[in-house]
Amino acid sequence: MNKSNQHVAIIGAGIAGATLANKLLSAGYEVSIYEKSRGTGGRMASCRLEDNSADLGAPFLCPASDIFRQWLTQQPNVNEWTPSTYRFNGKHCKNQTHFIATPKQSSLTRELIQGANLYTSIRVGYLWPERNQAPYEEEQSRVLLRDEHGKALGHYDAAIVTVPAKQAAPLLEAVPRFVRQVEAATPTISWVLVIQISSVVPITAELIQGSHPLLLRCIKDSAKPKRVREENSDTWLIEATPKWSALNSDSDPKHVAEQLRSAFFAVLNRDFNTQPIITAERVHRWLYSRHTTAHLDQRLNVGYLWDANTKIGACGDWLELGDIEGAWFSANKLAEQVILQRELI
């Protein structure tokens, strides 16, 4: 069967889903993407803060491999950024170059899925393989998708899940052997606070990191290339450590915001002699910020899941390196598998 007639459903519009969609679209497949949020990006999502937008998830990309770095340099909306970096003790340290998408991080996923059918604010709750046989045609396997309320979303030639492991588990019940890999992935929690501040004293730091009992890193979002910035105003992303986030996983968001804000302002006051005024803020808890993959069964793991009989698969960071780069690798590996084995779908 001509692969150009094949219609693939992808659940999740993060970097894994967007990368997979881009690969399949380039190979001639029709792609429909279902995303529970209002926009794309996943952990590269952005948020509104008054009249501006800010990165709510991954503040930048730090490629560990040459192949991922090369791919980033080839993306038209990705730029290099070398922030002025300080440690939490106030000392300046060596600046390193990172990669960011413009005008916001989620722009990368939005660009990758051009040509796909995107359905937002829809939570897929069920997918199941079905076999039908039209008159005078050979038997074909199709995958039925339903939303969380049971409403049918359609039949597809294949369905691929790209959401975090805990969210993927109920969607992969049709393939029992996938359960072991799903259960082996351990997510980490991350509390973040995005604030817009006004200060008469310029803050020279653009990235503050190092050892701190509460803070993992603080990033001046408004200092990134092609970001909107008002005079005497800056936007910062303040990220708590995984340990503190886990201990406070069920805390009231207002309490979390107060703790993060106080810790950040203490650093600014001590090391940069400024006590800014907050003009807007937003707090968010990432339940699946990253994944620990140490417990994956390496004998079974190839970086993705694919069942040729049901035409159901999965890819994501939890099947690879546990981060955004891992999600990208996982999606590429699965895309290659699907495209090379044309008889699979």
Note the pLDDT of residue 137.
Answer: 47
Tell me what the pLDDT averaged over the chain comes to. Answer: 91
pLDDT category of residue 189 using cuts at 50, 70 and 90:
very high
What pLDDT shows up at residue 229?
72
| Residue partners of 133: CB distance under 8 A and separation at least 6 | 139, 140
pLDDT at 216: 98
What is the arithmetic mean of pLDDT over 238-267? 97
pLDDT confidence of residue 228: 76
Q: What is the pLDDT of residue 271?
A: 85
HEC per residue, the chain = CCHHHCEEEEECCCHHHHHHHHHHHHCCCEEEEEECCCCCCHHHCEEEECCEEEECCCCCECCCCHHHHHHHHCCCCEEEECCCEEECCCCECCCCCEEEECCCCCHHHHHHCCCCEEEECCCEEEEEEEEECCCCCCCEEEEEEEECCCCEEEEECEEEECCCHHHHHHHHCCCHHHHHHHHHCEEEEEEEEEEEEECCCCCCCCEEECCCCCEEEEEEHHHCCCCCCCCCEEEEEEEECHHHHHHCCCCCHHHHHHHHHHHHHHHHHHHHCCCCEEEEEEEEEEEEEEEECCCCCCCCCCCCEEECCCCEEECCHHHCCCCHHHHHHHHHHHHHHHHHCCCCC
- pLDDT at residue number 1: 42
With 0-12 CB in 10 A as exposed, 13-18 as middle and 19+ as buried, what is 178? buried
Contacts for 323 with CB less than 8 Å, ≥ 6 apart? 290, 291, 317
State percent of the chain over pLDDT 70: 92
Alpha carbon distance 227, 73 (integer Å): 19
Cis peptide before 135 (omega within 30 of 0): no
Q: Percent of the chain, pLDDT > 90? A: 77
Lowest mean pLDDT of 78-87, 148-157, 285-294, name the range. 285-294
> What would the two tokens of residue 340 be?
């090379």
Tokens 């406070």 found at: 248
Q: Specify the range with the lowest mean pLDDT, choosing from 16-30, 47-61, 130-144, 174-188.
A: 130-144
Q: How many CA atoms lie within 13 A of 15 on its CB side?
A: 24
The CA–CA distances, whole Å, from 339 to 3, 16, 241, 275, 312 equal 8, 16, 40, 56, 14
Domain 60-104+186-291 classified CATH 3.40.50.1820? no
Segment among 57-71, 91-105, 179-193 with least mean pLDDT:
179-193
Q: Encode pLDDT of 266-306 as tens digits.
A: 999 888 888 889 999 999 999 999 887 655 555 456 899 99
Cα angle value 43/49/51 (rounded, 5°): 130
Domain coordinates of the chain in residue numbers? 3-43+110-185+296-340, 60-104+186-291
Task: Kindly report, residue by residue over 156-185, the tens digit of the pLDDT.
Answer: 999 999 999 999 999 999 999 998 888 888
Scanning the structure block, which residue is given the tokens 């429909």?
32
> Which residue in 58, 116, 114, 127 sits closest to 324, CA to CA?
58
What fold, for 3-43+110-185+296-340?
Answer: FAD/NAD(P)-binding domain (3.50.50)
Helix 324-340 × helix 66-73 angle, to 10°? 90
Residue 199 has pLDDT above 80, yes or no: no
